[in-house]
């Protein structure tokens, strides 16, 4: 039987990358987007685009109407990523209730395979020096922040339904970064701000960063080979934030910037959140994100590597390609390195001295 892939949250950074990977494989794709979302990049993938909302099951019924002769593989990427920390009705509704609606429709329509995209935020913290691995049950009261709690609840929901017969697996990406449609992605915004000279300094702390293309490959490998009822961490590698910026400077040019003491960043966080809210933008850092940067950010992708063939690339390559994409998209100005500047000056001087 032929397959058709149904991708929710398809206009987002990860969802659109999943559709791109499916297009490269020559698969038939259906993409679910919200009313008014920009689908220009998504249209390049040849996906059949449907408008709907995970909070309204009736709005998704046409999206879930499977053509005769096809088996459906559903990839549920839709969700709200929130680094604000405080509990909000929207985060809980979309990430938990919306996931429940999608899973129930998967069961009603007889989906062949379901991949739920969760997050490593759903995993409880461990003491420094330990490595976080897959777990069988999730505890919202043991994780920090509304986003993490909602993802823990949703993971329990999906894996509970899997035990009842839903053909589902769950994947847990770490901090997603990379090229393509990264608007709304905090890490891509960090790269953009640095390249545009709008990042005066960085904070101490670190996290595990994964290329969006590797996360998408891991999702499709889980759809192809993932064991039902299992979960897989899709991590990349742990880097301190100053080290990440050093790699970005090496990959794309730019100036050296300083590091703000943690106490100062914590004092500035409420103002940063307030200004972002007034400007109707997502804050680049918050009190919650600062806490995350000082947690244990070590994750193992050994299980995904062994069972799915998952092999993430190094961060330098990701940063180089992200910078290139942002330049090509006209969102940042290219930086000239010292060699390029010297060549430009010699060329200018030669032109001035030539009769």
What crossing angle do the helices spanning 146-163 and 99-109 adopt, rounded to 10°?
20
Contact 207, 145 (CB under 8 A): no
For the chain, list the domains and their CATH numbers.
2-178+208-238+297-312 (3.40.50.720)
Whose structure tokens read 């390609």? Answer: 321
Residue 26: CB partners within 8 Å, gap ≥ 6?
none
Cβ 291 vs Cβ 144: under 8 Å: yes
- Per-residue confidence of the chain (355 residues) as pLDDT tens digits? 899 999 999 999 999 999 999 999 999 999 999 999 999 999 999 999 999 999 999 999 999 999 999 999 999 999 998 877 566 789 999 999 999 999 999 999 999 999 999 999 999 999 999 999 999 999 999 999 999 999 999 999 999 999 999 999 999 999 999 998 867 788 999 999 999 998 888 988 999 999 999 999 999 999 999 999 999 999 999 999 999 999 999 999 999 999 988 767 777 767 666 666 666 666 667 788 888 898 999 999 999 999 999 999 999 999 999 999 999 988 887 765 544 455 555 555 555 556 5
Q: What is the CA radius of gyration of the chain?
A: 21
What is the structure's pLDDT at 208?
Answer: 97
What is the rounded distance in angstroms from the CA atom of residue 54 to the CA atom of residue 33?
10
> 48 forms bridges with which residues in the sheet?
30
C-alpha 67/C-alpha 235 separation (Å) is: 35
């Amino acid at each position: 039987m032929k397959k058709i892939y149904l991708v929710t949250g398809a206009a987002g950074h990860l969802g659109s990358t999943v559709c791109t990977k499916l297009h490269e494989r020559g698969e038939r794709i259906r993409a679910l987007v919200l009313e008014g979302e920009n689908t220009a990049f998504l249209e390049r993938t040849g996906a059949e685009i449907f408008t709907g909302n995970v909070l309204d099951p009736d709005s998704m019924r046409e999206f879930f109407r499977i053509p005769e002769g096809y088996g459906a593989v559903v990839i549920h990427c839709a969700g709200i990523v929130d680094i604000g920390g405080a509990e909000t009705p929207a985060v809980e509704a979309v990430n938990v209730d919306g996931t429940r609606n999608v899973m129930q429709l998967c069961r009603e329509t007889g989906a062949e395979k379901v991949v739920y995209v969760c997050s490593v935020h759903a995993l409880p913290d461990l003491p420094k020096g330990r490595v976080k691995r897959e777990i069988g049950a999730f505890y919202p009261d043991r994780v920090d922040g509304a986003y993490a709690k909602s993802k823990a609840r949703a993971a329990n929901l999906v894996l509970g339904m899997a035990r009842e017969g839903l053909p589902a697996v769950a994947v847990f990406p770490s901090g997603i970064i990379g090229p393509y449609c990264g608007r709304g992605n905090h890490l891509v915004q960090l790269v953009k701000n640095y390249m545009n000279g709008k990042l005066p300094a960085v904070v101490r702390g670190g996290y595990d960063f994964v290329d969006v293309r590797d996360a998408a490959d891991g999702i499709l490998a889980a759809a192809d080979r993932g064991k039902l009822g299992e979960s897989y961490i899709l991590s990349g590698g742990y880097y301190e934030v100053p080290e990440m910026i050093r790699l970005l400077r090496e990959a794309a040019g730019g100036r050296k910037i300083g590091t703000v003491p943690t106490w100062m960043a914590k004092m500035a966080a409420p103002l940063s959140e307030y200004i972002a809210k007034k400007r109707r933008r997502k804050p680049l850092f918050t009190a919650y994100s600062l806490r995350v940067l000082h947690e244990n950010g070590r994750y193992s992708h050994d299980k995904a590597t062994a069972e799915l063939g998952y092999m993430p690339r190094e961060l330098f390559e990701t940063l180089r390609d992200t910078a290139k994409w942002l330049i090509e998209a006209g969102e940042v100005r290219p930086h000239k390195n010292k060699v390029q500047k010297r060549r430009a000056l010699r060329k200018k001087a030669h032109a001035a001295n030539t009769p």
